[in-house]
Amino acid sequence: MAVLYPSDEWIKELQKICNADPEFKEACGDFSGKFVFQIEAEPGKLDQTGYLFFWADKGDAKEAMALASADERPDSDYVMAGKYSVWKDVVRAKQEPLRALMTRKLRLIKGSQLKILKQVKFALKVMNNCTKIDARFPDEGR
């Protein structure tokens, strides 16, 4: 059954897929990071900005949840923001997340860009796992 993106169910499904994936554990290595993904509203596509929290810790997806705002997780290491249409392309693997960050389609509001850009294997594995989710998008079928 398709799950709505962005939503609590969607990010929890990503967590479940990552934790069942031995390649995720390998790609993550010793990296640990708490992420807030800010999915910005776009007229006719996404009515309200969404916030998804994802904590990857040395090969485990420890925590994942939807938030009401980025302020709910002041302990986050990274806050990445971008328009809904950019994030939609990222989770469908049509846009590589680090390239989107370098071209400013995604913005790093909090955290070290240099540190995150070194995590290519991790970013690509998470993106690949996003494509395994049977997702439903709010701007499709309207």
pTM: 0.93
Domain boundaries 3-131, CATH class? alpha beta
Rounded Cα gap, residues 87 and 83, in angstroms? 7
Rg (CA), the chain: 14
User: Can you give the pLDDT at residue 81?
Assistant: 96
Rounded Cα gap, residues 61 and 116, in angstroms? 17
Rounded Cα gap, residues 83 and 46, in angstroms? 9
> What is the residue extent of each domain of the chain?
3-131
Please report which confidence band the pLDDT of residue 116 belongs to, taking 50, 70 and 90 as the band edges. confident
pLDDT digits (tens, 9 = 90+) for 30-74: 999 999 999 999 999 999 999 999 999 999 999 999 999 999 999
